[in-house]
Amino acid sequence: MVNEPDDRHAGHDALAPRLRDTLASLQGGRTTAHTVTEMALARAEASRKAFNAFSVIDWDRALRAAAESDRRYASGQPRLLEGLPIAVKDMIDTRGLETRYGSSAYVGHVPDTDADVVRTLVDQGAIVIGKTTTHEFAWGVTTSSEAFGDTLNPLDRSRTPGGSSGGAAAAIAAGAVAAGLGTDTGGSVRIPAALCGIAGFKPTLGALSTRGIFPLAPTLDHPGLLGQGVDDITVLARASGIDIPESDAWLSARLGVLAYVPPVPPDTAVFSASAHAVRMLRTLFTCEYVDPADLFDGVYDAFAAIVLTEGSVEHFRRSDEARMAAHYSEETRQRLDLAKAMSLRDYARAQQTRHRFRHRLKAMMTELDYLVLPTCACLPPKLDASVASIGAWSGTVRQALMTYTAPFNVAGFPAISIPLWSAGCALPAAMQIVAHPGDDGALLKIAAEIERMVRDDPGLASLHVHGN
């Protein structure tokens, strides 16, 4: 059962402590898991009311888990993540906790088992405090919802937090928790991380299990991690089985710099922040600009075709027309109608384009260790925006936000987004760092160093303004 707290828990707006700080306080006996969890639940309630960041908050189960963590600390048997509060995206199954997949079609749906990615963290002592909001079935980049209302960006409530893991990003940016689980099919972890000024990590395709996650496009779906910073992600990644190297090999890394992904240019703020960050990187790393010409040919259209085909197959096999008509949003129904016109030939062509792109990307990165590029081409759009114009280019908000992220789902390469805060600007740009498949731990290692460099630079001063 999920209990609602009384009003004294509302309005608690202190930021969540970082994960390592919380672990140190728990291990040192300076706090208890009950206290940490109760504060996280209170902050979650505040972020639900202010930003619609949570769909469900579970006081009873979370506090029972906290009591078990306190018993383990008292007996000297804490697990790796003992007593750490986390949030889980509503696309990911949680045993005994309502999981709606962002849709009114699944209101009241309570899974019998945890998704693998949840079980791994819970078995090591992490405490799930609730489910964060998502675009219906993760099929969108704004975390807007006809059924449950829009999720708002804590940096500016008139703007989208991005999506589809927008609730997780908003919860972290608002300070409810320091980290959480999301999903990323075309940028759904990295985009909201970028727009909310936090870190978001998509590992190599297949590095983390998708069992227990409602599929959007199975050949593109990735579980992902979001955190206040790279170190919070690293704590969860290590517990998830991603090996973090101890060596300093990253110091000799060669970086390829992509200024943009055709045909979408970066807006002025993104270009300026990215160019300044690259100038900083040149003081430590060997950097060379990469010509994007021809590299991304056809990739976005192939991505869209794969999502449309695979996504529709999942829904047509799970639901009948009557249920879809009664409970699915108009946006989702329109996408499913479009899918009916797709042919096997269309899908096969998209997969061939995918194969060719992966080959081109691997060849281009032969002499490079990492790529760096903006995460998104623009700053957070307004909530009601459907189109975007950047220079001479115009298109949908979806294209503006996904063009720089979706290719790395198509290729299956690991990627992480870190914020670039510019002095005098309350909204962040973001840098995306892409590694070779399998180099997930090394990517986190170098991302932490790059994060430190850009955070400490006076030209990219951190301005973290909540709730404009």
- At a CB cut-off of 8 Å and minimum separation 6, what does 190 contact? 184, 200, 201, 202, 224, 375, 405, 415, 416, 417, 430, 432
Token pair belonging to 181: 């689980």
From 47, 145, 164, 165, active-site residue: 164
Q: What pLDDT is stored for residue 405 in this prediction? A: 98
Which of 211-225, 345-359, 449-463 is the least confident region? 449-463
Contact 385, 159 (CB under 8 A): no
From 47, 55, 89, 103, active-site residue: 89
- Examine the residue annotation and report whether 25 is marked as an active-site residue of this protein: no
Token pair belonging to 38: 């109760």
From 103, 188, 274, 329, active-site residue: 188
Does residue 329 carry a pLDDT above 90? yes
Q: Regarding beta strands 54-57 and 127-132, do their DSSP bridges make them parallel or antiparallel, or are they unpaired?
A: antiparallel
pLDDT digits (tens, 9 = 90+) for 32-66: 999 999 999 999 999 999 999 999 999 999 999 99
- Distance in angstroms (rounded) separating the CA atoms of residues 69 and 432: 36
Bridge partners of residue 159, in order along the sequence: 382
Does residue 7 carry a pLDDT above 90? no
pLDDT-derived band at 458, boundaries 50, 70, 90: low
Contact 398, 141 (CB under 8 A): yes
- Distance in angstroms (rounded) separating the CA atoms of residues 250 and 281: 12
* CATH architecture entry for 7-239: Alpha-Beta Complex (3.90)
- Helix 440-456 and helix 268-281, axial crossing angle in degrees, nearest 10: 100
Token pair belonging to 256: 């390829």
- Distance in angstroms (rounded) separating the CA atoms of residues 9 and 215: 35
Contact 161, 192 (CB under 8 A): yes
- Examine the residue annotation and report whether 362 is marked as an active-site residue of this protein: no
